[in-house]
Structure 1
């Protein structure tokens, strides 16, 4: 299978098409794999630029940081646009009992679509249809679990042991840049990521 080269421009074009067209747009089967490769290449460029000491290197470093941040924003938007279209398709399939065109879905998206369609149909059958037949809904409700309230103080104090450029975390928040020797208080999830990558070390067990 031919590898498709990912660029900032074609990611932006993909987002534009997803935004302004109602149907899902074609994506290569290896899209996720190619995107990960592209992100890793950008991260490597960023790391290389951060080790150079010149005005030109500093300018290029900032450009790469901004582009990497924008790339992640584009990917998030593309995902959410496609997610919305898939949800609508699954809902329509449940309501109309008509098969939907799934040819433009990636394997992971198709699994998502099938699970949603099954869930929508199950609830329709066991609530609406039962009700129209003068019967009580027969859905077995899951046990309610106490939701843990996010603790804003759930942070760790860590010491930075190598310069860390600005980056976007899994929560799509921007962190850094951090300098070697700096003590930072940061969410446990991000702290664990930096500790595992050997960019920081524990300062305390947990912030009180």
Structure 2
């Protein structure tokens, strides 16, 4: 998986357009990071340091990949180009739709409200958030179990649950955060 993530990151840096990612790419990458995190607790100090370094490098690569892809998404929106959403992950599709709507409002002279207002729409959609606190497993408004979550975890949750976590300062909207 390390080679796959590195390859995707390298290709995304070189190419002008967005590269196609599997819909669950970030979920799989997160699982891989969690496996590495578990390996950091090895009894051998040298092996533990190597695993920690691998984790740190992979974390930086993934953050850079997210930034590169978000920049490309923003460029497309700003240029008013339609984006092939088949190239996006589940989380990126949510971000893309929200950003596209926000830019559309700006281009049409409408004002935008704070981030919570974005969440108050009535339809049942999922919101990408980054956790600021450790949260145990929760039952979502769709009756599915989500979590548990660690600090810095990223997940897409039902709108109602995401809003509650944001209001409790336990999470932040992903696309409003500097990564």
Shorter chain as denominator, the TM-score bin is: 0.5 to 0.7
Could you tell me which residue of structure 1 aligns to residue 20 of structure 2?
26
Q: Quick one: which of 78, 87, 91 aligns to 1:108?
A: 91
- With over 3 angstroms needed to count, the CA separation of the structure-2 counterparts of 1:110 and 1:142, relative to structure 1, is closer
- Give the distance between the partners of 1:80 and 1:110, measured in 2 at CA: 15
Could you tell me which residue of structure 1 aligns to residue 82 of structure 2?
99
- Equivalent residue of 2:21, what SS? coil
- Give the distance between the partners of 2:49 and 2:13, measured in 1 at CA: 28
Q: Quick one: which of 53, 58, 65 aligns to 1:66?
A: 53
- Give the distance between the partners of 2:5 and 2:72, measured in 1 at CA: 18
- With over 3 angstroms needed to count, the CA separation of the structure-2 counterparts of 1:140 and 1:43, relative to structure 1, is closer
- With over 3 angstroms needed to count, the CA separation of the structure-2 counterparts of 1:22 and 1:62, relative to structure 1, is same
| Count of matched residue positions in the alignment of Structure 1 and Structure 2 | 116
- Give the distance between the partners of 2:13 and 2:89, measured in 1 at CA: 18
Give structure 1 stretches of 5+ with no counterpart: 1-6, 127-138, 144-168, 171-208
With the length of structure 2 as denominator, give the TM-score of the two structures: 0.58
Give structure 2 stretches of 5+ with no counterpart: 115-150, 153-179
1:60-111 deviations in Å (ceiling 9; x for gaps): 1111111111010001000000010011111122xxxx53322201122122
Could you tell me which residue of structure 2 aligns to residue 117 of structure 1?
100
Q: What's the offset of the Cα at 1:20? A: 0.6
Q: What's the offset of the Cα at 1:142? A: 4.8
* 1:1-208 equivalent positions in 2, closer than 5 A: 7-47=1-41, 49=42, 52=43, 57-93=44-80, 98-126=81-109, 139-140=110-111, 142=113, 170=152
